Amino acid sequence: MPVSFQTVARGSRSGIAEAAQIVVRDQAEWASLWQKHSSVDANPPAPPAIDFGKELVAAVFLGQKPTGGYAVEIVSVERSNGQLTVGLRETSPAPGAIATQAFTQAFHIVRIAIEGTPAVRFRRAP
């Protein structure tokens, strides 16, 4: 059964330089994650408001890559047997493609409407 989700932030520049798939269930974890993520900004914005009584945050970080052209997108969230499955799709620059010659850190952060505290797993979508 599909579950609604909404993008909080998506891009190619993050203070999180290691690959990670993270689920956040409370305000303290969210503030910590957002602070680390936005640490590359000169004037980092405050973390977006999340109602952790009704939502959780799922975040995917590809880690630091040597060029542009890398991206990650959360494409689906499904509920089955009390568990949420977050589907994600990664893209890389094609061989020989022209890409920005700078380090990038692709990421996608979403908020997911929940009931209870389901287990969450991530899987690559076809």
DSSP 3-state assignment of 83?
strand
User: Does pTM top 0.85 for this prediction?
Assistant: yes
Tell me the two tokens of residue 105: 């850190």
Between CA 80 and CA 34 the distance in angstroms is: 29
Pairing of strands 55-61, 20-24: antiparallel
| pLDDT tens, residue by residue, 29-84 | 999 999 999 999 999 999 999 999 999 999 999 999 999 999 999 999 999 988 99
